[in-house]
Chains A and B, each alone.
Chain A
Amino acid sequence: MKKIILIIAAFLIVLSCKNDDNNNGGSDNIEKFGTLTLDFSNTIEDKTIDLERGSYTNGSNETYAIAELKYIISNIVLITSTGEEFKYPVADSYFLINEAEESSKEISLTDIPEEEYTKIRFGFGVDQSKYPIESGTANFIPTAEENGMLWAWAAGYKFLKFEGTYNTIGSTTSNDFILHVGSHGANLDNYKEMTINLPSVLSIKEMTTPNVSINADIAKIFDSINTHSLEVKSDVQVDPVNAPIIAENVSTMFSITNVSN
């Protein structure tokens, strides 16, 4: 008798620990989990941007070269055709995409419930309005800090750091541009969330390594819903007018180009 109890006890202990790993708190134990990789490409006219030699022209006829491009992706959610949502654990859901660092453009997600997903939602920046209710934003500090994504003078993150040089039409002298978008204080919140349909069904399975390719059309930072001309404003840091304009444009720049299961 004792033997059986002990065996059952051991069995229960093992099971109870397994549950700790699923973050969606699914109660049925046969649920299985898989992984997913999100590949980000930062492109202009369908070509990966070139930090060394690239020269581009925006809708305001200004030619520009990009020296630095970094942005924060957060709060990833996968959605099924019936609208069920799998929310990636918020505390592990902050990522810095740095054009200069290949590895940063590949986000690996684990422990995703086996399911067929048709949509993805993610955030641009850090949703500070939720702090500290959905904790985890603070543990992104070291990464943000190493990448210069914290304002030095305020307790907040830069969501986008986009820097380089530009020339206006006919001019040969190039000037620097600095576009930093983030939120500061309680009033200026430039956090955005995008829900995007997947071009084909993403099926997460225990042993497979599916992949979703996300394209960021960088030209849209200047020209999308709004037009931002560098001649009008080349230095956007704490800017209640231009930062929201750029953040709105950023919210339109992402598309899903491919799903491979």
Chain B
Amino acid sequence: MKFLSYIVIFLFGTACSSEKDDYVPVTLENPKLEFTVPANFPEPSYNVSLNPPTEKGFELGKKLFYEGRLASDGVVSCGFCHIQDFAFTHHTHIVSHGVDGALGTRNAQPLHNMAFMKEFTWDGAAIHLDLQPIIPITAEVEMNESFSSIIKKLEERPEYVKLFSEAFENQKINSENILKALSQFMIMMVSADSKYDKIERNEGSVFTEQEAAGFELFKSKCASCHAGTLFTDQSYRNNGLSVDPQYNDLGRKRVTGLDEDLHKFKVPSLRNIELTFPYMHDGRLKTLNDVLDHYSNGMVDSPTLDPVFKNTDTSLGILMTDLEKEQIIAFLKTLTDDNFVADSRFSEF
């Protein structure tokens, strides 16, 4: 009788062996993580049900995010350019530095609330968060790597073989799972715990007089583009920056090829703006004061300049007094989320 049972076990073991990948049933626990939409946030753009974050998937995504092996020099990880203390920007650098000190042409964007964004990068060159990492990984001026080579490097590391097999049902180390794990990590990076949020959700905080005045000014002067609780309408616009001949960055035109998109960039979210200096797509402005000076009297006209900035008296920009600028800046600082930048779930160590 025992003998027969062995046969059954044996058959069970071999019955599936004709399949391409040796499937071993996952017995380990891999609990789902709760993805919570903050009460004052819109519905996410990312379809979380198609790549539901799990404990292991998140852990893997985080490990990959801080993994130098994703770069050709073994050093430049995602976390090298996206530093948590500065809401995941590369703040010491105006434009990003990649492998061998290669200079990019753009300022690293903050990573927060990615699940709520529809398109990615300053010009929308990635239409899905899962696809976005293809750009830094393969770009010469960033990580200068290839997926085939990363897959090989990861397959050599037992800790990754284990994590991939725990995180994904098909247990494979492949590009899709690499990208999905990175997304699981990034979509969990929700920043919604600033003073502004607590006020918006009626959690007991109140604006100071200065901040309240700043908020009113912001609503009338800035919120047409920096709209809603994400502080962006996710459109592409030209806010009057002069063209830097060193880069001659085409902006959105690079993606669409359309002249009407020349020098337009994605309206950035202003959350954690106090921490994400320097500012603008090429990091040309060092402080929030510089930004407001740009809006009041630094604008350059061009065919694609947003009509909002063209005043009836033919002047350009947004009229603001020094006091008003101070008030707006005071308001912008209420968007800083200290808990987010200190959240150990997202830190390397």
**Which B residues are CB-close (under 8 A) to A151?**
125
Is B4 within 8 A of A3, CB to CB? yes
Is A131 within 8 A of B130, CB to CB? yes
Is B256 within 8 A of A17, CB to CB? no
Q: Mark B136-174, 1 if CB is under 8 A from A, else 0.
A: 001110000011100100000000000000000000001
**Which A residues are CB-close (under 8 A) to B18?**
17, 21
Q: Mark B247-286, 1 if CB is under 8 A from A, else 0.
A: 0000000111110000000000000000000000000000
Q: A146-B146, A184-B125, A185-B124 are in contact. Are A10 and B8 (CB under 8 A)?
A: yes
Q: Mark B18-59, 1 if CB is under 8 A from A, else 0.
A: 110000000000000000000000000001001100000000
- CB proximity of A101 to chain B, nearest CB, Å: 16
**Which B residues are CB-close (under 8 A) to A153?**
125, 135, 139, 254
Closest to B151 in A: A142
Q: A20-B16, A133-B50, A142-B151 are in contact. Are A188 and B175 (CB under 8 A)?
A: no
The winner among A21, A136, A240, A241 for most chain B CB atoms within 10 A is A240
Task: Determine the interface band of chain A, counting residues with CB < 8 A from chain B.
Answer: 35 or more
Is B8 within 8 A of A9, CB to CB? yes
Is B146 within 8 A of A240, CB to CB? no
Does B202 sit within 8 A of A, measured CB to CB? no
Does B1 sit within 8 A of A, measured CB to CB? yes
**Which A residues are CB-close (under 8 A) to B323?**
none
**Which B residues are CB-close (under 8 A) to A186?**
119, 124, 127
Task: Determine the interface band of chain B, counting residues with CB < 8 A from chain A.
Answer: 35 or more
Q: A6-B5, A154-B125, A185-B127 are in contact. Are A20 and B256 (CB under 8 A)?
A: no
Q: How far is the CA of A152 from the CA of B8 in the complex (A)?
A: 53
Per a CB cutoff under 8 Å, which of A14, A128, A139, A238 touches B175?
Answer: A139
Does B229 sit within 8 A of A, measured CB to CB? no
Per a CB cutoff under 8 Å, which of B4, B125, B175, B255 touches A6?
Answer: B4
Does A225 sit within 8 A of B, measured CB to CB? no
Which residues of B in the span 94-153 have a Cβ within 8 Å of any Cβ on A? 119-120, 124-128, 130-132, 134-135, 138-140, 146-148, 151
Closest to B124 in A: A185
Does A109 sit within 8 A of B, measured CB to CB? no
Is A138 within 8 A of B176, CB to CB? yes
Q: How far is the CA of A152 from the CA of B142 in the complex (A)?
A: 11
Is A21 within 8 A of B19, CB to CB? yes
Is A132 within 8 A of B15, CB to CB? no
**Which B residues are CB-close (under 8 A) to A155?**
120, 125-128, 131-132, 134-135
A-B contact pairs, 22 of them (CB 8 A): A3-B4, A6-B4, A13-B11, A14-B11, A20-B16, A131-B128, A131-B130, A133-B47, A138-B130, A138-B175, A138-B176, A141-B134, A154-B126, A155-B134, A156-B125, A185-B127, A186-B119, A186-B124, A186-B127, A238-B257, A240-B256, A240-B258
